[in-house]
Amino acid sequence: MVTEAMPSVRSAALGFFVATGSRGEAVGEAGLSHFLEHLLFRGTDRYGSAEIDQLFDGMGAELNAGTDKESTAVYARMLDQHLPAAFDVMADMVWRPAFKDVDPEREVVLEEIAMYEDDPQDTVFDVLGEAVFGTHPLGRPIIGRAPVIRDTPVDVIAEFHARRYVPRSVVIAAAGSVDHDAIVELAAKTLGDHRALEPVEAPEPAPARPETNVRFVRKDTEQVHVTLGGLGLQRGDERRFAARVLDAIFGGLSSSRLFQAVREERGLAYSVYSFAGQYSDTGQVGLYVGTRPDNIVEAMQVVSDELERLREEPATEAELVRARENVKARVVLGMESTGARMHRLGGSLLFDLPLLETDEVMERIDAVTMDDMRSLVDELWAPDGLSAAGIGPDEDTFCSAVEKITGTVNSKAA
């Protein structure tokens, strides 16, 4: 349980953070964490699905949920006067779903999967996950696979919930116009006789880089969607502040090197950027470029040149100053949102990360040096550590275009 009062606001943000996600699924369970998230909204014995919608609409509140690789969150924002009522309903959803109307929700999720798989700009990141993590669960799509969603019996889903949604695996976080003692009382009241079972099994360790480092999905698209990347920093790594600064310099901003070189100077892409993700014992870095098939060779040459430039000169002094200021501003601006604070609190406690004050975070960002940039580039963007993934009409052209970046291409059709 963790709360943060913000005296200047009249709203509250509340979240239930569960230590379960797609990483903890066996092959035959792929997608159950995401499916279960949907089923929480289908009601409990006390509240039907339509009633939940009506209650939150009547409060003018926003209720939502999300599943990622290592966690699931159910969260809401509401006026402070409605916090007890919202807490009661959300706790019932999390602890005591009734698993009603499961088959209609199967169809909803199957439609979501179909919609997702029709969008190569989204699915290419899962193809990169396969290239970086191989058959490990971190390489699987969070959304899951249609046969699992279609065929898993209700009693198996209920047992999956019973094993994973246990008190020791759940963090409750609130921010805004909240009182800590009142939240603790609400938690004790709504938990009732729900007690912990055996702890959730630890996930299997993250893998080393797979032998197949290039993956391609052939699809008749107007663009070739390309992602390049490799292993990154784990969630608690102290260098995560420097990594955010590096990402801003390389491809995270409109003034970044990738954006300027690929889009602004040459017009080779509408969307181009770098990204990073962190997990409990590993992470991932990468970049995305969407370009027309006749531009892919030139675009990958520009990316290759920028990667070489990054290795030779990770940052100029002006870039370092600009990136540090940008990252600090994003941290501070985010802290002005009750929802952002709630997510920060919940994620920090769930994953046992220190809760740093804003000034401490800014100090660590200000402390990032040029040597930090060089060290990270050598580790994260080394040529022999990069994988590539693509979706488009021509595999041979794609493999040829990325070969200079990834080295000898050992490709596999995904």
Q: Give phi and psi for 31, each to the nearest 5.
A: 110, -5
Q: How far apart are CA 292 and CA 268, in angstroms?
A: 8
Q: Sheet of 2-5: strands edge to edge?
A: 2-5, 170-176, 11-18, 72-79, 62-67
Residue boundaries of the structural domains of the chain? 2-191, 214-413
Please check whether residue 116 is in contact with residue 143, taking contact to mean a CB–CB distance below 8 angstroms. yes
Is 37 among the catalytic positions?
yes
Closest Cα partner for 348 from 231, 181, 173, 203? Answer: 173
pLDDT digits (tens, 9 = 90+) for 98-131: 998 999 999 999 999 999 999 999 999 999 999 9
Closest Cα partner for 74 from 94, 55, 89? Answer: 94
**pLDDT at position 208:** 77
Which residue's entry shows tokens 């009142």?
182
- Classify residue 411 by its DSSP letter: E
Residue 3 — pLDDT band, cuts 50, 70, 90?
Answer: very high
**pLDDT at position 38:** 98
Strands 170-176 and 62-67: unpaired
Closest Cα partner for 384 from 233, 208, 138? Answer: 208
pLDDT digits (tens, 9 = 90+) for 363-397: 999 999 999 999 999 999 998 899 999 999 999 99
Q: Which two tokens stand for residue 294?
A: 């006749």
- Classify residue 248 by its DSSP letter: I
Residue 211 — pLDDT band, cuts 50, 70, 90?
Answer: low
> Residue 318: CB partners within 8 Å, gap ≥ 6?
none
pLDDT > 70? residue 414: no
Instruction: Write down the catalytic residue from 4, 25, 29, 37.
Output: 37
Taking every pair of Cα atoms in the chain, the longest distance, rounded to a whole number of angstroms, is 63
- Three-class DSSP labels, 64-123: EEEECCCCEEEEEEEEHHHHHHHHHHHHHHHHCECCCCHHHHHHHHHHHHHHHHCCHHHH
Residue 227 — pLDDT band, cuts 50, 70, 90?
Answer: very high
Strand partners, 215: 389, 412
Which residue's entry shows tokens 């993250």?
206
pTM: 0.93
**pLDDT at position 1:** 87
Closest Cα partner for 148 from 109, 185, 176? Answer: 109
pLDDT digits (tens, 9 = 90+) for 263-289: 999 999 999 999 999 999 999 999 999
**pLDDT at position 271:** 97
Please check whether residue 328 is in contact with residue 366, taking contact to mean a CB–CB distance below 8 angstroms. yes
**pLDDT at position 409:** 56
**pLDDT at position 261:** 98
Higher pLDDT: 88 or 194? It is 88
Strands 283-291 and 224-232: antiparallel
Task: Give the CATH number of domain 2-191.
Answer: 3.30.830.10
Mean pLDDT value across residues 333-341: 92
pLDDT digits (tens, 9 = 90+) for 35-57: 999 999 999 999 999 999 999 99
**pLDDT at position 341:** 95
pLDDT > 60? residue 244: yes
Q: Which two tokens stand for residue 254?
A: 């409109």
Mean pLDDT value across residues 162-177: 94
**pLDDT at position 107:** 98
pLDDT digits (tens, 9 = 90+) for 304-325: 999 999 999 999 999 999 999 9
Strands 387-392 and 214-218: parallel
Q: What architecture (CATH level 2) is domain 214-413?
A: 2-Layer Sandwich (3.30)
pLDDT > 80? residue 197: no
pLDDT digits (tens, 9 = 90+) for 59-79: 999 999 999 999 999 999 999
**pLDDT at position 17:** 98
Residue 190 — pLDDT band, cuts 50, 70, 90?
Answer: confident
